[in-house]
Amino acid sequence: MKLLRRISQALLALCLAAAVLPAAAQWQPARPLRLVSPYSAGGANDLLSRLIGQKLGERLGQSVIVDNRLGANGIIGVDFVAKSPADGYTLLMGSLATHAINPALYARLPYDALRDFTPVGLIATVPLLLVVNPALPVANVKDLVAMAKAKPGAVSTASPGLGSSPHLASELFRGAAGVDIVHVAYKGDAPAVADVIGGQVTAIFANMPSALPFVQSGRLKALAMTGTRRTAVAPDIPTMAEAGVPGVDISTWYGLFAPGNLPADVLARLSTELDAVLRLPEVQQRIRQLGAEPGAGDQPKFQRQLAADIAKYAKVVAAAGVKLE
């Protein structure tokens, strides 16, 4: 009888230990983390990296150091993370450009956007603003389309580079509206927006954080925004569909990635803490100040979105006829 009691007690102890095992096995970082931003300081990618890195570090109990590794349209920083150990200590602020457009744009990349990364969660979605010089005699998108149809080739659109999301938005607009417009590629957002302000180029589908301050100051006129719904920071600006040209639904997004084959316990902890960070009122307020909509640490949903966008932009880039080495 005593032996049976001891066996029962031992089994009970084992069951209790098993019950608390998941909590005990939860990943806890033992040193600072590195969050790679593959673009220069001051841009939306960098700003979001610093915002999320600080708050994520507070929840993990470790510093998160932002490492700007720029070059080659984001490829250098992305490749660094792809080849880093899958231990949770190296993360990436990826984007639509790095993970959906670049794989279609470049004939060869040193990494596979799906195989070599573990998506953790969506940080923010940023629409593009179709803006023109205020002196241009158009009041809305329909007026711009009418101008382009009246004088084929007279309307031009700027972009920060071939294959960028503003360039692809221009191509989608050209096809959806059935107009003949000229694309002018620049090296970066700033000179492209500056030439629209100066009147050298007719219009640009600019990233919201780059264009909105100029709209608010009256130096640019906003006609519409891409995406499926209006943004809270500029509720009076209609979507392209509302403005009469549906199908221009490209929006930039930013997401947190880790190297591929990240252990399940590490992914679970990072995804959970990211979701908690994105629910903080101060984080949501700051993201919306940038003209973006906050995402969530919903890892399965983000993974499905990534796969869908890779397939989508392969078709968009092919239709635009752009290919880089």
How sure is the predictor about 73, in pLDDT bands with cuts at 50, 70 and 90?
Answer: confident
Strand boundaries in the chain, DSSP class E? 33-37, 64-68, 90-95, 117-132, 156-159, 182-185, 203-207, 221-225, 251-259, 293-294
Residue with tokens 């923010």: 124
Task: Summarize pLDDT for 90-125 with one digit per residue, the tens.
Answer: 999 999 999 999 999 998 999 999 999 999 999 999
- 3-class state of residue 115 by DSSP: coil
Identify the DSSP state of 71: -
* Cα atoms found within 13 Å of the Cα of residue 231, Cβ hemisphere only: 28
Residue closest to 37 by CA, chosen among 19, 51, 17, 20? 51
pLDDT at 237: 95
Location of structure tokens 């001051």? 42
* Tokens representing residue 84 in the block: 């880093």
CB 49 within 8 A of CB 66: yes
Residue 55 has phi, psi (to 5 degrees) of -70, -35
212-246 pLDDT, tens digit each: 889 999 999 999 999 888 888 889 999 999 999 99
CB atoms within 10 A of CB 135: 7
Q: How many residues does the chain have?
A: 325
pLDDT in tens, 291-303: 888 998 889 999 9
| Residue 1 pLDDT class (50, 70, 90 cuts) | very low
Contacting residues for 176 by C-beta, under 8 A, at least 6 apart: 240, 245, 246, 247, 248
CB proximity list for 264: less than 8 A, separation 6 or greater:
none
Q: What domains are there in the chain, each with its CATH number? A: 33-126+251-320 (3.40.190.150), 133-225 (3.40.190.10)
Residue 207: pLDDT over 70: yes
pLDDT band for 273, please (50, 70, 90 cuts).
very high
pTM of the model: 0.81
Q: How far apart are CA 162 and CA 184, in angstroms?
A: 9
Q: Looking at residue 73, what DSSP letter applies?
A: G
Nearest alpha-carbon partner for 302 in 168, 181, 125, 143: 125
Taking alpha carbons only, the member of 44, 40, 53 closest to residue 91 is 53
What is the β-pairing status of strands 293-294 and 117-132?
A: antiparallel
Encoding tokens for residue 179?
Answer: 């107009």
Q: Count Cβ neighbours within 10 Å for each residue of 295-312 and write b for 16 or more, e otherwise.
A: bebbbeebbebbeebbeb
**Phi, psi (degrees; rounded to nearest 5) at 196:** -75, -40
Token pair 């890779």: residue: 310
Asked if the model's pLDDT at residue 5 lies above 50, the reply is no
CA end-to-end distance (rounded Å), the chain: 78
Looking at residue 98, what DSSP letter applies? Answer: I
Instruction: Report which residue type is found at 185.
Output: A
